Amino acid sequence: MSKFFQKNETILFLILLLLLVFLSFYNPQFYSIQNINSILRSSSTVMIVAFGMTILLTSGEVDLSVGALLSFVTVIVMDVINISGSLFLGFFSVFIFCFLIGLINGLVRTVLNVNSLIGTLAMMLILQGSVYIYSMAAIYNTHLIPAFTFIGQGFVYNVPMPVIIMLVILPIFVFLLNYTRYGRYFTAIGSNPFSSNLSGINNNRYKLIGFIITSLLVGIAGIILASLMDTGQQGSAKGFELIVIAAVLLGGTSFKGGSGTILGTILGILILKVIDNGIILMSIPQEFQLVVPGVILILAVYFDTLRKEKNG
């Protein structure tokens, strides 16, 4: 029983429960289908990218360029479909682009040996600048293909489509991290890269894969976002990378690598998003939407350190 309460996920779950109870007492509107769907829908793009970020942080790396890439993806997907009228070509070009960015991020880290905090920060600047070279103006949906709009705005049995996409991707990552050797490899690489290399694991290969997976997930999230906004917009995902990283860290993944769970990440995102929603429902000034997660993040990492000290 004591072990049960020491688990990070348990604590996060209790916090989430507490928040839900509190908010439903405060404002019964909280439990309306519309409100819950809006929380889940806005969580799902964060979650999709956070799955990749969990892998990266577990292996001791980080990708700060996901927000800038996300904005870029909305522009590309909208533009290509507008011009070609083909969803396939739109998606194809997004994934090619994301694959290349992930590859470059990974190669900068593994071949040039640039710390990923710096390397992907640089990539963020490059993407933020070059998206304006690509197009100065926002790109509106002129193709009006219904299937495209459905991706972000549609429902299946009252469940928003983005949530369904997220739920399809989720089990793949739970399986990958918990049941396959690759999950162990990412943990080993993050915990002790020397030891994992001496155990015959090619650290760089898996780091490269981690960066590429994360970028590809950004591609999926970007397509959803473009559909949701019905626009390809240059600055549409400002601060996105910070929310993702904050949620993953809140979920118990260590910034120094070596430990991370998908369940924790999901709970971390839900907590942040429910707080977001609560701030709106309680008519607190919206600026607090950034302040509160900041404070929570510091507390979360602090408690995590405390627990580790006690155990270690």
Interacting positions 249-278 with another protein (CB under 8 A): 258-259
Can you tell me which of 1, 133, 136, 198 binds another protein, judged by CB under 8 A? 198
82 CB contacts (<8 Å, ≥6 apart)? 139, 141, 142, 143
Gap between the Cα atoms of 28 and 57, Å rounded: 38
**Choice between 183 and 278, CB closer to another protein:** 183
**Choice between 60 and 293, CB closer to another protein:** 60
Q: Binding of another protein at residue 5 (CB under 8 A)?
A: no
Can you tell me which of 86, 149, 153, 197 binds another protein, judged by CB under 8 A? 197
Q: Binding of another protein at residue 110 (CB under 8 A)?
A: no
Element (H, E) at 156: strand 155-156
Beta bridge partners of 139: 232
Span of 38-46, 154-162, 181-189, 233-241 interacting with another protein by CB under 8 A: 181-189
Span of 78-86, 108-116, 197-205, 232-240 interacting with another protein by CB under 8 A: 197-205
CB 8 within 8 A of CB 304: yes
CB 230 within 8 A of CB 143: no
Can you tell me which of 24, 29, 142, 180 binds another protein, judged by CB under 8 A? 180
**Choice between 24 and 202, CB closer to another protein:** 202
CB 240 within 8 A of CB 70: yes
Cβ neighbours of 75 (radius 10 Å) = 23
Can you tell me which of 22, 181, 284, 305 binds another protein, judged by CB under 8 A? 181
**Could you tell me how many residues of this chain bind another protein (CB under 8 A)?**
22
* DSSP secondary structure letter of residue 141: -
Can you tell me which of 25, 146, 194, 310 binds another protein, judged by CB under 8 A? 194
DSSP string, 255-292: TTSS---HHHHHHHHHHHHHHHHHHHHTT--TTHHHHH
Residues that bind another protein in the complex, under the rule CB under 8 A = 179-181, 184, 187-188, 190-192, 194-202, 258-259, 311-312
